[in-house]
Structure 1
Amino acid sequence: MRKILVVGAGQSGLQLALGLQSHGYEVTLMSNRTADEVRTGRVMSTQCMFHTALQHERDLRLNFWESQAPKIRGLGVSVAAPGSHDPGPTQRAIDWLGRLDGFAQSVDQRVKMAGWMETFAQRGGQLVIHGAAVGDLDYFSRTYDLVLVSAGKGELVRMFGRDASRSPYAAPQRALAVAYVHGLAPRPEHPDTEAVRCNIVPGVGEMFIMPTLTTSGRADILFWEGIPGGPLDVFKDVKDPAEHLSLTLDLMERFLPWEYARATEVELTDAGGTLAGRYAPTVRNPVGTLPGGGLVLGVADVVVANDPITGQGSNSASKCAASYLASILERGDRPFDEAWMRDTFDRYWATARHVTKWTNAMLAPPPPHVLDVLGAAGGLQSVADRFVNCFDDPADLENFFYDPEKAGAYLAEASEASGAAGA
């Protein structure tokens, strides 16, 4: 029986630990908090998991909340008309809803991670509540066959050097502010459709609204992404949750009146229902070297940390855990050496690179052909549907999104098909 240590109890660390456990590995999981501390603490993230990521959880029979969480059937995109927010009411230059092939879901990580930690322990896993330092891992690397680091902050991450060739941004590109709320009314144009809403205010930032399941039942996440130094970059010193929500709503009223109109009765889900911060999107070297010479393998956002603008964080974490699990199982009894670690990361990067490319593209002002695609989706349902299903499989964007010629050819083809269907 091979012994594996997983450091960090987030989406990737827990999914991987539980997956390895189900295949008979002796797994130790290190977390800096107990399940109860996670459950009663502050929200840790936004998350909307699409079909492929959800299927990885189903494959391991970890989809405990699937019947309770809202089934998200679509994703809507609205773009504010240029200059319409200052002064006067904001108009929408683009507004449409795309349909997902398979439903998406969001479960507050406080609910999921606490539940998964308890499941891991109940199934006989060794759960160690301890904030691991590099010195701890130096010791453990001599007693485990493999050490996986999935804790995405602090000194452990500094073991994995930044890959400048894959990290075009050295500084944060968005200031992030999250509020979990009850009482949000549905969009009047689609009152019966659970959907994620992406609102883009050019030159200012974005707001995402998503249905979720939290500790107190169904809720919605209000998530501002502000361009640093701009009018949305005002949450840094806000400590009071009520003030955070008030500021969130004030900005909605100013920049997104169509969303504010359904948010007039909202209240925070709980005192821990707000979060603010920022980080630079970074790809890192996947292998860390310990002082004693031992090697550790970085997992998910330890090695590929993208901005949440494309909603890929928990999806990427799930896909990374599934990819690493397959690589570990295929390794059998052979050593988990540096060559294997790099091959394991490269296998994951084959899909992760599409997420990084898309995310970094969306952080920059959109070129004309991208606006053409988003605009065409308002009149061509097939274009809207194809784009929103790229949230599940970003690799398809290579076929129509990045290159002006490919985009033009695709839109002409979609328009022609629509015309033929309507004839």
Structure 2
Amino acid sequence: MTKILIVGASPAGLLLAHGLLDHSYDVTLINAASSHDIRYSHRPAITHFTLPTALAHEQVSGLAMWEHLAPRISGARVHLHPPGASAMTVESAFATYGVSVDRRVKSADWLEFAEDRGAKVVISGITISDLEFFWRMYDLVILATGHGELSALFAPASNAPVPARRAVAQAILTGVAETEAADRHVVGPPPGAPPGYLPEPVVSDHAEVASSPEIRAILSPVLVDSGPQHVLQLMGSSGGPMDAWPERPGRDDIWRRMAELTRQHAPALFERIEDAGPVPEQQDVSLHSYAPHVRNPVGHLPSGGLVLGMAEAVIATDDPVAAQAQNMAIASASHYLSRILAHTGAFSPAWMTETFEGLWQGTPCPEFPFAGMGRAITGLSEVLDLIWAPEAPPHLAEVLGAATHDQRVADRFVGGLDDPRSYAWLQDPHTAKDYLSSLTRP
């Protein structure tokens, strides 16, 4: 029996573990924190969305555990604040709904379920020296976490862009004003749901996004351990207002600064949070810093052992506005699983590189439906970063302007979040201009 070690209880690592268990592989999962520690962690993640296609994948896999509680997200309302011009709004619904679940809840439940299904779960920190021992015991070692000394095993990809480090402020809130009933949407079950899985339609709402040259913000419902709440997230690059936090800020300092930044740069969102406040005892307010990266997927241990990186270990996607972290987790787990199932013999460096390259820039096919998702996801974040930049190509402003008055453009711009590979038209100026021109032809 093929023995596989997965290091890191990230969503991608856990999804892969469950997929391997479905096919009777011998799976060991090592993680520094137990499910209890994850669930009550004082460090919440900044990625919560599961978009419709990813949710359908979770349902088919029997891993959508929070349907009766999790807020449904059926689209986005995007408030644009161009410099020197009036604010604009773009709004569109997805074909169906996604959900918003605190990653601590999701990871803790999936880790417990993996152990119940027969995975060997080891709660321990792990070092490069430890991997020197473990790699000889397993046919394949996969690193599914992007933090700590193990990340140094993977060199930066020489042909990938190096975006600026981002700062993110997050607050889990209670008392957020609800949207008007007319703005809420009744949607049915997502594609791929088993027959009768959700026999009645459910009420869903749109996430609200604001984008200005200084800050991007998102306000949406989220399921945390205590039940449904809302989460406000502000994100900006170095050198802007997201750098101006008090030294060693406390919870109240962070929240006051967040509220003021929202009032200045996202007034439509501020209207909903003006009377809201952080949820007690949820590690409700936090600051985060992360650097987007793309790394080579094959890690070489000093003794010659090999480690394969996946998802956040080699492709960072912690952009809450782009909402692609769970898409990356699903895509990585599904693609790697298909490659493992189709493989016989030793897992060579060439096989590892081909596996990653297929996910990064491959062509989708029935066997590998998520091929090409890696480059598409990072490309989407790059485009969103460019919108207000002085060097932004002119067609981006033309597309956004058209989306404010032509619902077809709005639907294509927002609906593409479900599968970022669909944004190829937006990243090419000629294709984008041809598309806009086609809308005015008789």
TM-score, normalised to structure 1, is 0.91
Aligned to 1:132: 126
Residue 300 (str. 1) matches residue 311 (str. 2) = yes
TM-superposed CA distance for 1:188, in Å, is 4.5
TM-superposed CA distance for 1:121, in Å, is 1.3
Instruction: Measure, in 2, the Cα distance between the counterparts of 1:145 and 1:330.
Output: 15
Aligned to 1:414: 439
Number of equivalenced pairs: 405
Aligned to 1:245: 255
Match among 89, 112, 119 for residue 95 of structure 1: 89
Contact 1:14 1:116 in 2 (8 A): yes
Task: Please list every run of 5 or more consecutive structure 1 residues that lacks an aligned counterpart in the other structure.
Answer: 85-90
Q: How does 1:113-124 map to 2 (within 5 A)?
A: 113-124=107-118
Match among 380, 390, 397 for residue 371 of structure 1: 397
Task: Please list every run of 5 or more consecutive structure 2 residues that lacks an aligned counterpart in the other structure.
Answer: 186-204, 362-371
Aligned to 1:3: 3
State the Cα deviation string for residues 42-94 of structure 1 (Å, max 9, x = none). Answer: 3122221212222221231101112321111111211114247xxxxxx52x1
Q: Helix, strand or coil for the counterpart of 2:435?
A: helix
Task: State the AA in 1 paired with 2:184.
Answer: D
Contact 1:147 1:297 in 2 (8 A): yes
Task: State the AA in 2 paired with 1:404.
Answer: P
Contact 2:246 2:253 in 1 (8 A): no
Task: State the AA in 2 paired with 1:395.
Answer: R
Instruction: Measure, in 2, the Cα distance between the counterparts of 1:402 and 1:191.
Output: 30
Q: Helix, strand or coil for the counterpart of 1:163?
A: coil
Match among 136, 143, 149 for residue 143 of structure 2: 149
Aligned to 1:359: 381
TM-superposed CA distance for 1:383, in Å, is 1.0
Residue 44 (str. 1) matches residue 32 (str. 2) = no
Aligned identity (percent) is: 36
Instruction: Measure, in 2, the Cα distance between the counterparts of 1:269 and 1:25.
Output: 42
Instruction: Measure, in 1, the Cα distance between the counterparts of 2:142 and 2:280.
Output: 33
TM-superposed CA distance for 1:412, in Å, is 2.3
Instruction: Measure, in 2, the Cα distance between the counterparts of 1:19 and 1:223.
Output: 32
Residue 319 (str. 1) matches residue 344 (str. 2) = no
Residue 384 (str. 1) matches residue 384 (str. 2) = no
Residue 180 (str. 1) matches residue 172 (str. 2) = yes
Instruction: Measure, in 2, the Cα distance between the counterparts of 1:236 and 1:159.
Output: 35
Contact 1:176 1:226 in 2 (8 A): yes
Q: Helix, strand or coil for the counterpart of 1:142?
A: helix
Instruction: Measure, in 2, the Cα distance between the counterparts of 1:61 and 1:237.
Output: 45
Match among 102, 106, 111 for residue 100 of structure 2: 106
Aligned to 2:26: 26
Instruction: Measure, in 2, the Cα distance between the counterparts of 1:270 and 1:290.
Output: 44
Q: How does 1:138-217 map to 2 (within 5 A)?
A: 138-169=132-163, 171-172=164-165, 174-188=166-180, 191-193=183-185, 194-202=205-213, 204-217=214-227
Task: State the AA in 2 paired with 1:411.
Answer: L
Contact 1:20 1:27 in 2 (8 A): yes
Q: How does 1:77-92 map to 2 (within 5 A)?
A: 77-83=78-84, 91-92=86-87
Aligned to 1:87: none
Q: Are residues 382 and 234 of structure 1, via their aligned partners in 2, closer, same or farther at CA, if it must alter by over 3 Å?
A: same
Residue 266 (str. 1) matches residue 253 (str. 2) = no
TM-score, normalised to structure 2, is 0.87
Instruction: Measure, in 1, the Cα distance between the counterparts of 2:114 and 2:127.
Output: 23
Which stretch has the larger CA shift, 265-274 or 18-27?
265-274
Task: State the AA in 1 paired with 2:437.
Answer: A
- The structure 1 segments of at least 4 consecutive aligned residues displaced by more than 6 Å after TM superposition are none
- The CA RMSD over aligned residues, in Å, is 1.8
